[in-house]
Amino acid sequence: MQIVVLDDIGIGEHDLRRLEQKGEVRLFSGSPRGLDAIVERARGAEVVISGWTRIDREVLAALPGLRLVSLWATGLDNVDLAAAREHHVVVSHVPTYATNAVAELALGLMLAVLRKIPAADQHLRRTGHAEWQPFQGGELHGKRLGVVGTGVIGRRVARVGSCLGMSLLGYDVQPSPAMIDELGMHYVPLAELFAESDVVTLHAPLTADTEDLVDGALLRRLPETAIVVNTARAGLIRQDDLLEVLSEKSIAGAGLDVIDLSLESGAKLLALDNVVATPHIGFYTREALAKLTEVCVDNVVSFLDGAPTNVAAPPPAPAEPRSGGTGALKEEENSGI
């Protein structure tokens, strides 16, 4: 049994030993570039653990012995799930490891944008003068929070917002009865959520249906004092439209943990003084990483023991694994984050 860690994931000695009890483990650092580099690393592997590498149809076709892709992630956008099913490769992920981490960063970005914390910090350091006049901000208390995607992270952000005295609007294909009953969240169409919210926070998965979900037309429905926070995926927002709206000061600002720097608009967003940006650190806490690795390795161990967990892409039934038997599949509920 060969288990390959394709790229940079945080794996400690304890979890590495757990994998080594199941087979020969090969560790790689850095992200492989292109099909040949990925296949070279994963050649002969029955199990691949991947944090950042794109596993597409070509990769799957080139690895006939592959049985499991265990994602060191919640999001599924780095794997061609349809191709995985066709090739009888199980894909597992870690649904809820960073709930607190991402929710707390979303709150931090809200406060950073509304209170102009980074700009005030840099001004004080640069000038050495305690000038407070340029940095009048706004408060969260009494404002309306619009939550797009009310999976586990979205629900946690909503609870925090409620504790701060915010009223709640929600948008999701599957509304949460708990949010309605416990916090009085009002689910509305997306256009209404943008028109009525002071803060919009995005917590939806990136899929074919949600790509470019937020465009210029929606952004222009926001009040001029409103802000947008995105700790999910850059592709949820049409980035060129966001740049235009922020440059025009049509809205007050944005807090972005995800930016597509391959687009020209990425660098231009970073130059705006009404944008607070972080380099996709939402998941990146000691506590979240420990949980992420633990569950990722759990997924490998349980698969090899014949009872897969956190399965996002089971093979079509009936299906015979391409090498050996794995027992019955158990598909876990996808949290939607």
In tens, the pLDDT along 147-177 reads: 999 999 999 999 999 999 999 999 999 999 9
- Residue 271 and residue 149 share a domain: yes
Whether residue 14 is found in the same domain as residue 148: no
Which of these, 275, 231, 268, lies nearest to 253 by C-alpha position? 275
- Determine the pLDDT at residue 10: 86
pLDDT, residue 325, reads: 36
Q: Are residues 178 and 304 in the same domain?
A: no
Whether residues 187 and 38 share a domain: the answer is: no
Q: Are residues 266 and 295 in the same domain?
A: no
* Residue 132: DSSP 8-state: -
Determine the pLDDT at residue 316.
Answer: 62
Domain around 297: 2-97+286-313
Q: What is the CATH number of the domain that holds 9?
A: 3.40.50.720
Domain membership of residue 327 (yes or no) is: no
- Tell me how many domains the chain contains: 2
Give pLDDT, residue 94.
94
Which parts of the chain sit beneath pLDDT 70? 315-337
DSSP 150-191: -SHHHHHHHHHHHHTT-EEEEE-SS--HHHHHHH--EE--HH
Question: Would you say residue 192 lies in a domain?
Answer: yes
* Cβ–Cβ < 8 Å for 254, 230: yes
Q: Backbone phi, then psi, for 141, in 5-degree steps?
A: -55, 130
Claim to verify: residue 105 and residue 171 sit in the same structural domain: yes
Positive/negative CA dihedral, 283, 288, 293, 297: negative
Buried b vs exposed e over 32-67: b needs ≥16 C-beta within 10 Å?
beeeeebeebbeebbbbbbbebebeeebbeebeebb
> Within this chain, do residues 26 and 122 fall inside the same structural domain, yes or no?
no
Query: Strands of 47-50's sheet, edge to edge?
Result: 24-27, 2-5, 47-50, 68-71, 90-92, 311-313
Domain assignment present for residue 221? The answer is: yes
Q: What is the pLDDT of residue 77?
A: 87
Give the E-state strand segments of the chain in sequence order: 2-5, 24-27, 47-50, 68-71, 90-92, 144-148, 167-171, 186-187, 199-202, 227-230, 253-256, 275-277, 311-313
For residues 208 and 85, is the Cβ–Cβ distance under 8 A?
A: no
Residue 122: Cβ within 10 Å count: 10
What single letter denotes the amino acid at residue 292?
Answer: L
- Same domain? For 261 and 291 the reply is no
Query: Has residue 329 been placed in a domain?
Result: no
- Looking at the structure, tell me whether residues 271 and 303 fall in a common domain: no
pLDDT of residue 317: 60
The string over 162-193, giving b where at least 16 C-beta atoms fall within 10 Å of a residue's C-beta and e elsewhere, is bebebbbbbbbeeebeebeeebebbbbebeeb
Is the same domain home to 128 and 159?
yes
Q: Look at residue 110 and tell me if it is in a domain.
A: yes
Is the same domain home to 116 and 37? no
- Put simply, whether the predicted model's pTM sits higher than 0.85 gets the answer no
Judgement on whether residues 122 and 270 belong to the same structural domain of the protein: yes
Q: How far apart are CA 157 and CA 102, in angstroms?
A: 9
Would you say residue 184 lies in a domain?
yes
In a domain, 333, yes or no: no
The verdict on residue 273 lying in a domain is yes
